[in-house]
Every structure is written in structure tokens, then in C-alpha cells.
Structure 1
Amino acid sequence: MVFNLGIHSLFHHCIHSVEVIPNNYVVNDHLKLRSLVCNHVIVTPQIECIPLQGAFKFWISADTQLPNYRPFPLQHMLVFIMDRSRNTRELFRYGMSAVYLFAFGSWFVQIPGLYGDNGLIPVRNTLERMKPSENSVFERPNLMWPLMSYGFSPQTSLDLVCLSGVIVSFLSLAFRSMRSMPIYLILWFLYLSLFQVGGTFSSFQWDILLLEAGFLTCLVSPVTPMGKNSPLSRMPFFLVKWLLFRLMFASGVVKLTSRCPTWWGLTALDHHFESQCIPSAMAWWAHQLPQWCLKLGVVGTYVIEIALPFLFFSPVRKLRLIAVYGQVFLMVCIMATGNYNFFNILTIVLCLSALDDDHISIYGFTCEGKTKSNDFGTKNFRKLKKIVTTIVTVVLMAGFLFYAVQHFGLRFFNGGQLLDSKITFDFNQFQSWVDEWTVTAMWIGALFFIYECLYTLYLCVHRGSLPHRLVRIMKYLCLFGICTYMFAISMVPLKSVTSNRRCWPIIHEWHASTMNFELVHSYGLFRSMTGVGGRPEVIVLGADSLSGPWKEVEFLYKPGNVSQKLPWIVPHQPRLDWQLWFAALGQYQHNPWFVSLVDKLLGGDEEVARLLDAERYPFKKSPPKYMKAELHLYHFTLITKSGNVPKRTWTRKYDRDYLPAVSLDHQDLKTFLKHHGLDGKRRQAKPTASQAEFIIKIIRDHAQLLPADLFLWSLWMTALAISLTRSMASKALRK
């Protein structure tokens, strides 16, 4: 807020401990007064110092009292509404830097085994198939091409892309001045380059979610490294909230539109904990919960993912907080019971878009100075407002509870169970509801987007000299055009959950023209439940003779040994272990990378072997002569009726052969690999590595001294320590 006071009024009414600042003086610190009441208007803080023509500027805070004075007329001051999310946007950018660090760091330690010259899917093969033309370089830009034009090999180019992402994201975490648009644009382009050549091992929804959120982060960030947290970023920050809504709403809706019987029967959690990709130790305990509790968990998931996201747009702050903490609670539960890499952390970071500075200050996050409530009016008015918002919150939550009981048939002490539930609507009714409320959500989003655009325009033109206003308006128009375009094309994936998926033709054309940039996507996590009859798991076996003995190959994280402890490796994603989970749901013919894995193990490739459990790898001295794969069905062990906890985590039984026994010179093996562009030829390491390759190898060797998850957390802790040290040193110097 800015006060434009005459010099007489300023000294006559505010003579007590007020530091007057000459016009056009650059202010770096907050000059704090306390509560100021003028004609029953409560003046609240965080006032931004702005150059005024022939006026004085000062900061006002709402926790001090001034001496008695005669109130001066309201026409002597200009009171403006403040930007209440600038600290929240700063925290959001910090969170995105952390997610980028986890994503790039996790990729970096796996590149040789996945994409190296002797990896499962050599990146050189992928690049040969892409073969960019003059037009495709602009239609599908990738940093790999210029790096290779400078003489770097495909693997080294990929290493440089990934390592650059680690370094840039680390610096943006450690130094606040690095959290600017150019930095986040670099991070987004680096991850886009990595995603485009990742192929099978990058086909996950959180990868495309990171790309969409990463592009919005570019728009939310200041243009220059030392740039100010401009109110202009309110528009793209709303798009972050819109992305959060689309993610959660679609993830809830697709569970029922997929017609999965476990989601419709409210029994999905009976199978989820043991059938998810890499369950944690908490998943075993969650699996032991009574069925009524698991059914209630499914109902709660529907309420959190389908109903609560609409409250992100509520003008009542308490309702927004309920919606946000509902999503955070769900993400924490998923993160505790499963290993979903950086996905849950990224979703929690997106939830910041529905918060404000007043709320995050509770946790001590005051990046640009402490801010307090901006409630205006008399004390009685504020009391009345609090009562009304509380009543609205209670009534709406009671309505949610009523409809949950009605539509999910919640009954207490029914059939000998504490709680029973059953869906009381059919598929057609639900699809009709989805069609109606998806369109409603589009209109709600459009109205609030227009409001944010108009409010941001007001913030741009309400102060400053005419040249400054014109410059801000030009910046506003540029950002407004980009944000409007992003909001428009996001309608296409949102309507994918409805029966009528068509939007205006021009919007479909816009969406199609930007598909290569991965700007917007449709989402639908946990669409259908797998492993209902048992968790299928591929078991790889090796031997020196067809008659055996066959020795089991252990992987680092996926279930194998029935006595193996369940890991918790967030935020790392072992992409080979994840793909093995998908491979178990199909046939090896649909997973040529799996046949490549067998071929590499038969050839004794060390880089691929590092993706396995090296300590328990049975062929350390020499590779096996034959390998095969079997499919087993796994189930969690259960606590006995007497309350005893079993020593083993799993039980398993043989289901069928997955891959017949093959050897390195097996003709069918060679033919299959050649057909899929995986010739199986071993490439010898260069006798002398380039300087870049040598440095990359040293860095990776040191990174692999720690488990991948600890390596990632250590990077984040180091950046945090640097940031805190600089902050404390800066405060000490000011004192």
C-alpha cells in the first residue's frame, strides 16, 4: 500500500519515529510502523515502496501503536489492495528447483546402464531413428543435436544434459537470485531434451507433469536474475492451480470411467498396497487393515480427488485450506506406502498455488518479509466475517459428508462390520455427472482466470509514472497472451474425461501445434487396479547349463526374494525396476528392452549389471551361459489370528514361463533384437576418454558411492545448508 501525503500532513500526524525517504530513493529494507487507523480503515502491512511524484514513501506494519494524533482525511492517501502470494510464489519456485534436482539426479546415476553404448536402449539408436531435418529441429528442439555437432558422443551428450540439469537446479536451490525465468527455461529445455530421447524409460505421467509444471514455473519467475517478484506472475500462478485441479480431478474421475470392478466395488485398496510397483514397509502394514477401513479409504480418495479440487477456487480461505490439506494428506499417505519418486513432492509443491503468504508464514516461510492479514474494516466487521465464513465452511463440509454417505451407502454396524459401504449410482449416472461438472469446471476456471487477469492489470496501472505504466502494460500484454493460450489448450486434455471430447476446432489446432513441446497433458493416475489375483513378478534366472542349477538374479528394489525387506527410496526412481513391473503385466514380445536386458547380462556388461543388486548378483566372476525368465504371483503375508508377525514379507507361487532359455549365440534372440533396432553388438570402450567423459565418470563414480536416494537427499541438504548459511551471514552483516 502506498500513502501519498503532503509534507505538512506527514510531519503533523506521523511525527513519532517515522523515517521519511526522499522521492525516488531505492529502499532495500522494511521501515516498520505499527497499526494505523484512519476514519475506521485498518491499514495493514506489507507496503511496497513505489516512486511517487512529489511524495514521500514509507513501510507500514500492523503490530505497533502510534501516539495520539488527529486522523487526516482519506483523500490524503491512496490505499491499494496488496499482492498476497509473492512469498508463496517464491516458495513454489524453490520447490520446483528441488523437484528438478531429484529428477535429474535420479536420471544421472542410471544413464550408462539404460542409454549407454552398451545399455539396454542405446541413445545412439534412438537418435539415429529421429534423424532431424531442417524443419524438425525447430518443431522438435533438443539440446542433444548441438552437443553432438561439437563432437560429443551420444552418451556423453546425454550425460552433459543430465549433469547440467543437476548443477543448474542445485544452484537455483542454493541461491535465490538464480530462481529466475532464464534458469527455469534452461531446466525445462534440459528435461524436455532428456524426455524426448528417454523412450520407454521416460513414459511416465510424472515426467510430463514435471514438463507442464516446469513451463509454468518459467512464467511465474522474474525475468532477470535479480528481478523483483512482480505481481504479473499472478496470472501464470493461477494456471498452476488450474493444473493442480486438472491433475486431481482427472485422477479421481478415471478410476470410475475405466469401469475397473475394484474401484466400483470399493475394494481397490485390498489389492493396491501389494500390487503397486515398489511397495514400502508401510504398505505391508496398511495391507493388514480391516476391510471396512480400506473401503473407507477408497471413499476418502474419491472425495479428495473429485469433490475437494473445486474448493481450490473458493473465495473462502478456510475451504481452500481444507482442499489443499486434503491433497497433502493423500500425497503423504501414498508417499509413505509406495515409492513414487518425486511425484508426490511435485504434487505438494503444486498445492502451494492455492495458499497465500499469511498461511505459509505460520511455518516460518517469509521470503520477502513478514506479511499479515489484509482484513479491512472495523473490529465488528471482521468478527462478522469470521462467523460467516465459519458457517459457510461447516455447512459445505456437512453437505460433502451428506452426499458421501448417500452416494457411497455408508452404514455403521452393518453385517457384523463396523462400517460398510457400497456405491449407489451406476456408470451412466456418473458419466452424466462428469460431463456436466467438467463443463462447469471449465467455466469456473475461465471466470477466475479473467478475474486474475483484470486484477493483475489493475496492479500494473494503478501506480507509478506514465512511462513505467506503459512498460508494465507491454509486459502484461505479452504474458497475458501466453497465459491465455496455455489456458485455452488445457481444455483439450480436460475434456478427455467426458463422453464428448470435442472443443472448438481452433483450440484443437493450437493444442496439436504444441504437442512436441509437452505443454499440457491429460492425467489419470491409478486408472485401473492390477494384481487382483496376485502380483505378477518376472523372475530372471541364469545358469551355466540347461540342466541347472538355475540361480535367481536379484534386483535392487523390485520384489524377488520373499524375505527381502521392503525399501523406501523416495525421491529416486529406479526406472528399470519400474519397467519390470509393467513387463510382468504383458509378454516379452511387447518389451524388447527386456530381451535386451537378458542379452546384456549374458554378455557380462558391467554398466547394466550395476542396475541390479550387485552384492547378491550370482555371476560376478563370469556371466551365465543361459538365461530364462519365469512369472510368479506374489502376495503379502498376513498377521496371524494370534497377532504374530511373519518373518517373511511375501509368499509366491510359480505361474508360467515368461522367456524360454536362451544363450548369447541364440539365433532367435539375435533376430528379435535386430528387428527392434537392438543389434546386441558390444562396443569396446575408447582407449583414451575425452576430458568431458573423464570428468563425468569421476562425478558418477562418487555419486554411486551412496544409495541413489541418499545421494539425492544429500544434494538437497547441501543446497539447503548453503542457503541458510548465506541468509544468516546476510543478517549478521545488517546488524
Structure 2
Amino acid sequence: MWHWLSAPEYQGARFAVTHLVALVYLIGFVSFLRQFPGLLGSDGLTPVARFVERVPFRRAPSLFHFRSSDRWLAGVGWAGVVVSLLAQVADLAPVWAWLLLWALLWVLYSSIVNVGQVWYGFGWESLLLETGFLVIFLGPAHVAPPVVVVWLLCWLLFRVEFGAGLIKLRGDSCWRDLTALHYHHETQPVPGPLSRFFHWLPRPLHKVEVVANHGTQLVVPFLLFFPQPVATVAALIIIATQLWLMLSGNFAWLNLLTTTLAFAAISTSPVTLPDPPGWFAVLVLAVTALFVVLAYWPVRNMLGKSQVMNRSFNRLHLGNTYGAFGSITRVRYEVVVQGANDPDGPWREYEFKVKPGDPARRPPQVAPYHLRLDWLMWFVAINPSYGSTWLPRFLRALLRNEPQVLALLRHNPFPDAPPKLVKADLYRYRFTTRRELRETGNYWVRSWASDLVPPLTLDDLAGRG
């Protein structure tokens, strides 16, 4: 009866998608465990306990509305790690167990995202939740994948790519005059070890890259819905583009997850598999109907004149709209945080784990891992209001040498006793030329631009943040 719903030719696609999504979940939970004490813990910059006191469950559904202690946060994180590992072997489970395991993963991670505040306001969080929700209904390897879920994964990939292409074309003029990559590799949030190489590629090649990007994001997504092998070719083009982006910068797991979605469009020789059980098929069709209804909001957003990026239209993070880099900054500014025991100095600099600081330090590769404080510091350099809810608390933590917050940094220049003063300045950064790198060994040239936060003591920060 349900043979029309079966798509055994996507058995390989299901294997790739489910195992890669389980890997991204694992990265997300490990990232949470390593960073939540300084960001969301009871002594963190924006404690979950305070958040759930003022934000009701209906606005931010989360397990942390029931308990929000640090032990409970750690327990949810470790539970996510264990279930992510179990998901790698879930193909052996019966259909009902598959559903429960993947649904539990989604509940655990959505509980984190919904109370994660500014640290979890990135598009790849909603993308992971929406992808993870759809994987619930792919089913284990011993039944045929439902074709409608494969279509929904392709529709999600379409929104990711086409939404990003539209926001670029409608946004910054540098995407239309093909000069965006004259700046982007140098000014992106977290450069990687090869970003400087990409920045100094010949400018005509940069224009070719932009044209290729427009084609990949504005034309290729439509081919995902063409008969095979066209859809597979389209998916391979998207995968190649994502690998190029992985080499050029650190974008957390956005590129890995987009690559994962592209695998959903790749078909192989069909294998003999039983059709999904009737109750499961009915459930899959109900979910499909839900996503058909939810499609109204992202479609309206993409077709409207005031398109927005990375917006969830509901508390469940389903049927979202996506997009990235609708505007490109032309000059890179970095927040440099320093401490001292005397107003006349010497001032010693705090080093972050990945964001540019010491000009001699080569940008590291961290993606698909995500360092949330470093990303937010990039936004603060663009507009200080991005740090309004947590930057005073961060500076106060430095003046107290609070271990949870200092663990988010690469280097504390005051290991024995905290400084009496801290300040934050804005510096302009640019990549060194080949000659400058050869002569100085530095990857960056920086110059002081302006004050951001004047020298402050603990007394100055009393009652702030």
C-alpha cells in the first residue's frame, strides 16, 4: 500500500545525512559542555537561571524551565553526547526506537538553543534543529526512506542556498558589482589559516568566485528538484562550493550541515527494502502536511521586498528562513581587551582563542567547532550594542579572575592576581602583504582606531551587567 512512499534509491543518501547530522549534534553538545559555565552557567555572562525567571516556557520551550542548575545543564549536555553517539548506530534499531532517539536529540538541543540567548542566535542553530527534526522521519536502514522526507530535506537546502543568494543580490552593492571578495576574506567574523591566501588571490579571480557563488545559490537550487541525474549534479556543485568555503574561513558547522543536506539529493542504485510500516507512513504524511503549511512564511519572506536573514517564525525552529552576508564590511576592526594595575600601565592584553589578536599569530582552524564568545566580539567591533547585555559582566569577570569566564580565553596575562583596571580599544586590522609577512613574520598589521570602553575598576562596574 505504501510502496509509492518508498525511495530505496536514496538509501545511501539517508546513510550520509543521518550519520553527518549525528556528528553535528555531537559537536554542538561538546561545544555546549565546554563553554556553558562561562556563558550560561550560574557564574556565566548570561545565566540560564536568570533567563528562565523572566521568559516563560511558551516563549522559549526548554527543559531548563524545570531545573536550571549547572549540574542540570551539564547533565543535558552529557545526555546529548551519549544520544549523539547512539544515533551513529541507530540503523540497527526498530522504527519506534529510531523515532524516540532522534526526537530526544532534537528536544535536548532545542532546549539549549531556546535559552542560549545571544550565544545561540546564529542561523546554523536553527538549521541543525530543522534538519534534525526531519531526520526523525527518515527511518532506520532496514526500511525504505520516505521520498517526501527526502523532498523536504531538498526544500530545506533550497531555502538555505536560494535565501542566501537573494539576500546578497538585494543587499550590499559589492555583490552586484562583483567586488565582495575584495573584502570578505579579510573582514569575515573568524578567518582561518588559509583566509589570507584567499584574500590575496588575483582580483579577477575574486570576481569569478562571486559569479560562481551567484550561480550556485540562485540557479543550482532549482535543479535539486529536477529528475536524476540532474539533481545529483546540482548537489555535487553545492558540495564543492561548501568545501571551498570551509577552506576559506571558520563558519562553525554551517558548511558541514549544508553539505549534509546536499547528500539528500544524491541517488544511487536502488536496493531491496521493505516499505515503511503503515503507522509510520501516516506520521510522515502528517509531518509533510505541517511543512507545507509552514512553507508560507519563508516563501513570503524570500519573495517580499524586505527579506530578512536567519529568522525562525515559530518557537520550534521549523520552516525557517536562512541567509548570510547580506552586507560586507570593508574594514576589519577588532576589540582588544587589556588589563593593568596602574592607569599609566603597563597594559597587558588578553588573548582570545580564535579571533585575531596578536598580529604574529596565524588564524587557526576551528570549524566545525564553534567558539561563541569570539564570534560575538566580532559583532561588538561593528556595533557595541551587541555587547550591551554581557560585556560589562565580562569585564567585571576579568577584574575578579573568575575561572569560568577566563576558561573562554586563550591567555590570561594576570594568572596570579587580577588587574585593578581593564579597558577595551578598537584596532584596525588588515592582512600583511607577501613582503610584510616575509619581513616581519606577522599575519596582520594593526593600528589603534579608538577607545571602546575606557579604563574601569570594579567599583566603576558595580551594578552593571
TM norm structure 1: 0.59
Say yes or no: does 1:253 pair with 2:166.
Answer: yes
How many Å separate the matches in 2 of 1:353 and 1:589? 36
Q: Report the counterpart of residue 338 of structure 2 in structure 1.
A: 541
1:167 aligned to which of 61, 64, 82: 82
Tell me the alpha carbon deviations over residues 178-218 of structure 1, each in whole angstroms, 9 at most, x when there is no partner.
58111110000001100011001000000011111111111
2:153 aligned to which of 240, 259, 264: 240
Q: Report the counterpart of residue 83 of structure 1 in structure 2.
A: 8
Q: Report the counterpart of residue 657 of structure 1 in structure 2.
A: 451
Q: Report the counterpart of residue 193 of structure 2 in structure 1.
A: 281
C-alpha contact 2:11 2:271 (8 A) present in aligned 1 = no
**CA RMSD in angstroms, aligned pairs only:** 2.6
Q: Report the counterpart of residue 242 of structure 2 in structure 1.
A: 331
Counterpart residue type for residue 98 of structure 2: S
C-alpha contact 1:240 1:353 (8 A) present in aligned 2 = yes
Q: Report the counterpart of residue 124 of structure 1 in structure 2.
A: 49
Q: What secondary structure does 2:52 align onto?
A: helix
Tell which deviates more after alignment, 644-653 or 575-584: 644-653
C-alpha contact 1:250 1:523 (8 A) present in aligned 2 = yes
1:486 aligned to which of 268, 286, 291: 291
**Runs of 4 or more consecutive aligned structure 1 residues displaced over 4 Å after TM superposition:** 643-646
Counterpart residue type for residue 518 of structure 1: H
Tell me the alpha carbon deviations over residues 578-597 of structure 1, each in whole angstroms, 9 at most, x when there is no partner.
11011111125853311111
Counterpart residue type for residue 285 of structure 2: F
C-alpha contact 1:588 1:595 (8 A) present in aligned 2 = no
Say yes or no: does 1:265 pair with 2:177.
Answer: yes
* CA apart distance, 1:176: 3.3
2:211 aligned to which of 279, 283, 299: 299
* CA apart distance, 1:556: 1.1
How many Å separate the matches in 2 of 1:109 and 1:589? 23
Tell me the alpha carbon deviations over residues 536-560 of structure 1, each in whole angstroms, 9 at most, x when there is no partner.
1000010001121111111111101
Q: What secondary structure does 1:661 align onto?
A: strand
Q: What secondary structure does 1:518 align onto?
A: coil
Counterpart residue type for residue 427 of structure 2: H
Q: Which residues of 2 match residues 379-394 of structure 1 at below 5 A?
A: none
C-alpha contact 1:588 1:594 (8 A) present in aligned 2 = no
C-alpha contact 1:104 1:162 (8 A) present in aligned 2 = yes
| Residues 671 and 357 of structure 1, relative CA distance in 2, 3 Å threshold | same
Tell me the alpha carbon deviations over residues 630-689 of structure 1, each in whole angstroms, 9 at most, x when there is no partner.
001100011239x957511001111110001110111xx23432xxxxxxxxxxxxxxxx
How many Å separate the matches in 2 of 1:478 and 1:648? 58
Q: Report the counterpart of residue 716 of structure 1 in structure 2.
A: none
Q: Report the counterpart of residue 348 of structure 2 in structure 1.
A: 551
How many Å separate the matches in 1 of 2:29 and 2:52? 20
Q: Report the counterpart of residue 142 of structure 2 in structure 1.
A: 228
How many Å separate the matches in 2 of 1:593 and 1:82? 49
Say yes or no: does 1:144 pair with 2:64.
Answer: yes
- Segments of 5+ residues of structure 1 without an aligned counterpart are 1-49, 51-80, 359-369, 373-458, 461-468, 503-510, 674-735
* CA apart distance, 1:517: 1.1
Q: Which one scores higher on RCO, CA 8 angstroms, separation ≥ 6?
A: 2
C-alpha contact 1:495 1:501 (8 A) present in aligned 2 = no
How many Å separate the matches in 1 of 2:386 and 2:118? 14
C-alpha contact 1:93 1:221 (8 A) present in aligned 2 = no
1:180 aligned to which of 91, 95, 98: 98
Q: Which residues of 2 match residues 354-503 of structure 1 at below 5 A?
A: 354-358=265-269, 371=271, 472=278, 475-499=280-304
Identity of aligned residues (%): 31
How many Å separate the matches in 1 of 2:194 and 2:29? 27
Q: What secondary structure does 2:394 align onto?
A: helix
1:114 aligned to which of 39, 45, 54: 39
C-alpha contact 2:351 2:409 (8 A) present in aligned 1 = yes
How many Å separate the matches in 2 of 1:287 and 1:478? 49
Counterpart residue type for residue 229 of structure 1: V
Q: What secondary structure does 2:390 align onto?
A: helix
TM norm structure 2: 0.92
How many Å separate the matches in 1 of 2:56 and 2:163? 36
Q: What secondary structure does 2:182 align onto?
A: helix
Q: Report the counterpart of residue 94 of structure 1 in structure 2.
A: 19
How many Å separate the matches in 1 of 2:90 and 2:286? 30
Tell me the alpha carbon deviations over residues 273-316 of structure 1, each in whole angstroms, 9 at most, x when there is no partner.
11111111211111111110011111110001111111101114
C-alpha contact 2:353 2:409 (8 A) present in aligned 1 = yes
Tell me the alpha carbon deviations over residues 711-731 of structure 1, each in whole angstroms, 9 at most, x when there is no partner.
xxxxxxxxxxxxxxxxxxxxx
How many Å separate the matches in 2 of 1:288 and 1:645? 17
C-alpha contact 1:588 1:659 (8 A) present in aligned 2 = no
Say yes or no: does 1:633 pair with 2:428.
Answer: yes
Say yes or no: does 1:216 pair with 2:134.
Answer: yes
How many Å separate the matches in 1 of 2:27 and 2:188? 21
Q: What secondary structure does 1:635 align onto?
A: strand
How many Å separate the matches in 1 of 2:72 and 2:335? 33
